[in-house]
Structure 1
Amino acid sequence: MNPSPTTSTAPVSRRLFLAGVPAVLLAAAGCGAASGAASPASPSAASTASAAGPAASGGVAALAQAFYRTLDADQQSTVLLDYSLANAKRWSNLPQGLLTGDGGGMPSGSMPSASMPSGGPGAGSDAPGGGPGGGGGASQSRVGINLGALDDQQLAAFTTLLKAATGSASGLGYDELEQQLNADDYLGTHGGGDTYGRKNFYVALLGSPSDSGTWEFQFGGHHMAVANTYVDGQLAGATPSFRGVEPNTAFELNGRTNQPLRVKQAAFTALLAGLSADQLATAKLTDTFTDLVLTPGKDWQFPASRSGVKVSTLSAGQKKLTLAAIATYVDDIADDDAKTILARYEGELDSTSVAWSGTTALTEQNDYVRIDGPSVWIEFSMQHGIVLSGNHPHSVWRDRSTDYGGTKS
């Protein structure tokens, strides 16, 4: 029996963090155990990118270059790859071990019978949510280098870069990501095995990080994808952006109480609670959504028409709740960039719709809510437990115009 997610766990030392935990004996197919600290993933092609271009001091490009300079030659060739859509699409919500085939099977613990891992394979139908068990992950493993391969100096430089690329609000941005990394460490030591943990999260620099040209800062792992694309020194897109977490209840780790998606979930709950009975009836979807619609690999497959209640018909207070829910995703990126994107979404708010399915509590399996606008697309979906008992959320933020920085080929 796994400990409850509220069980207190002592902070993990870096030595234990890098060594990982013993692999559990696994059954069937699913999220399995990788062996030790994962090896760097292979790039799709040899890179001609450079990390020596012009970059304003303190900016994301300059900090990416600084991180790159802490790496040895082999690590540099693994991290710095050409910018291409093929490389940019190498993200997933699955653990890396399952993508590479190193993971043997389902983790032990409180596993619902006949369940698939969150975002697991075998679910890629055209039905809402991709069928039982969750949407499919990308077919290829992530590119870049895993955090478990970095030393203290390299991790410090990476952390500085990550903080600069993400937001500063409590419970969002960098703070949310750190709690998500804690959650995956927690899974690793509470039944998930060596497949889980921050050591299995990957960072890549796609293209030449500088204030000219196009490049992407890519970071992700289980339940996480950060994809910031920059063009001529400006953020051109911060999506696809995936956030999920197991456990979804509060837990203690690394000297703090963690509940990474609490702010997002609370904002969606408040939005639905603020709608009248008639508005909820208009907004309710007839389908059951077992997972997200726009899972990894389903790029630009937005529905042809919008469903739900139109935000233009809502009161000023209800519109504010809608924008607040959107902001919990936009505020994951650097503060100044977030203001620019949120202003664009606010200008399109009257042409945006809100829809839901399941229950409005957003605590039960298959509870689902969506915000769909001319640009913004956000989904939040409750899944069954995989390593631990209890439901947990998946969520994705996409943009019809600026996914992958607008790159479509």
Structure 2
Amino acid sequence: MAIIFSGFATKKTAKESIDNNNVLKTNKIVSLANDFKAALSPIQITELEFAYTMDNIKVWSNLPASLFPRLGIRIGDLNETQLKALKNLIKEMTGSAPNEGWDEIQQVWLADDFLNTKEAGGKYGAGNYYLAFLGKPSMTSTFEIILTGHHYTIANTYKDGKLIGATPRFEAVEPYVFQTNGKVYSPISQERDAMSALLKGLTEAQLSLAKSPNTFTNILLTPSKNWVFPEKHTGLQLVDLTALQKKLVIDAIKTYTADINDDDAALILAKYVSELDNTYITFSGTTSLTNQNDYIRIDGPSIWLEFSVQRGQVLPNEPYHFHSIWRDRESDYGGTRN
């Protein structure tokens, strides 16, 4: 029998093996959140804390903060001690795998810093991300910790010491590959590569079922669109895929679930895998996901993933940049709805 834990379903044995780890993880997150708050001035605390309300949890965007104001405290206004405390908190909330989680966030920040050197005005850059506490972090309350800026948004919701929602989570990058400090970075490419691999693993007949007649110039469930999942699934249902093909789908899903802390990621992935036969793939454009308007969606009873290839905005001569989002039909914003 499936056991519900942290808002997600998994086998009892798996639940028992990581139950204590997850409670301890949330306790550590609460502790680090309070450490960060303790490093702030009274005025800064008023910038950080907001009520956990429907209006507040929806305040995020993929636009720079100068175009869409955020709730919270601006990272660029923190001193060295405060910034270290913030990074300790975000690192604890996120995954430890290379090119995922904390590593991925830092690379997207570097990409935003890179954009800031290409356009006057200073609206890009890691300093223009904001952190807010919606509700006061504790082991007995409901609260959300949101880190949001131009090309990355983390919105983790906790209740009574457990993570009950890891979405919406937006991730994007422009340019898709860049060099800084003598090192080449390509954040979000692991998502693109895994999504492309699953498409290329399908037969021609399967691809014809998955192919959409529509052109997608962006993700459907953009920041302003909440709780409007399409009622009908479209594309190729995964029930008849081979074991190898299903593994390619799971590998693609992992590039998203691995962005949150490792124990909760395992629980969420197990739930999505259990629902795989009732999950669908839709794509448009090419299977390489390297051309403008290439698009793929994984849509199941719970999971919703979108990956969109778009033209450059700040760098129009670049071939493309990526937008992607992970949402959950059941636990978006912790399951809160209008």
TM-score, L = length of structure 1: 0.75
Code of the residue aligned with 1:240 in structure 2: it is P
User: How do 1:313-324 and structure 2 match up within 5 A?
Assistant: 313-324=240-251
Name the residue aligned to 1:184: 112
Shift of 1:304: 1.4
CA RMSD of aligned residues (A): 1.5
Name the residue aligned to 1:85: 54
Name the residue aligned to 1:266: 193
Name the residue aligned to 1:369: 296
SS of equivalent residue, structure 1 residue 98: coil
Name the residue aligned to 2:152: 224
- Whole-Å separation in 2 of the counterparts to 1:330 and 1:57: 17
SS of equivalent residue, structure 2 residue 117: helix
Number of aligned pairs?
Answer: 314
Code of the residue aligned with 2:47 in structure 1: it is T
- Whole-Å separation in 2 of the counterparts to 1:56 and 1:343: 19
- Whole-Å separation in 2 of the counterparts to 1:291 and 1:276: 26
Name the residue aligned to 2:271: 344
Code of the residue aligned with 2:307 in structure 1: it is F
Q: Is 1:182–1:254's contact at 8 Å kept on the other side of the alignment?
A: no
Name the residue aligned to 2:213: 286
SS of equivalent residue, structure 1 residue 382: strand
2:140 is equivalent to residue 171 of structure 1: no
SS of equivalent residue, structure 2 residue 109: helix
- Whole-Å separation in 2 of the counterparts to 1:370 and 1:78: 37
Name the residue aligned to 1:252: 179
User: How do 1:104-183 and structure 2 match up within 5 A?
Assistant: 141-183=69-111
- Whole-Å separation in 2 of the counterparts to 1:210 and 1:151: 25
Q: Is 1:357–1:369's contact at 8 Å kept on the other side of the alignment?
A: yes
SS of equivalent residue, structure 2 residue 137: coil
- Whole-Å separation in 1 of the counterparts to 2:91 and 2:182: 20
The runs of 5 or more residues in structure 1 that have no matched partner are: 1-54, 100-140
Structure whose residues are more often strand by fraction: 2
Q: Is 1:187–1:193's contact at 8 Å kept on the other side of the alignment?
A: no
- Whole-Å separation in 2 of the counterparts to 1:302 and 1:56: 31
Structure whose residues are more often helix by fraction: 2
SS of equivalent residue, structure 1 residue 148: helix
- Whole-Å separation in 1 of the counterparts to 2:252 and 2:158: 25
Name the residue aligned to 1:395: 324
SS of equivalent residue, structure 1 residue 278: helix
Shift of 1:327: 1.0
Code of the residue aligned with 1:61 in structure 2: it is V
- Whole-Å separation in 2 of the counterparts to 1:321 and 1:315: 10
- Whole-Å separation in 2 of the counterparts to 1:244 and 1:176: 10
SS of equivalent residue, structure 1 residue 97: coil
Percent identity over the alignment is 49
- Whole-Å separation in 2 of the counterparts to 1:398 and 1:404: 9
- Whole-Å separation in 1 of the counterparts to 2:253 and 2:116: 31
Name the residue aligned to 1:381: 308
The runs of 5 or more residues in structure 2 that have no matched partner are: 1-23
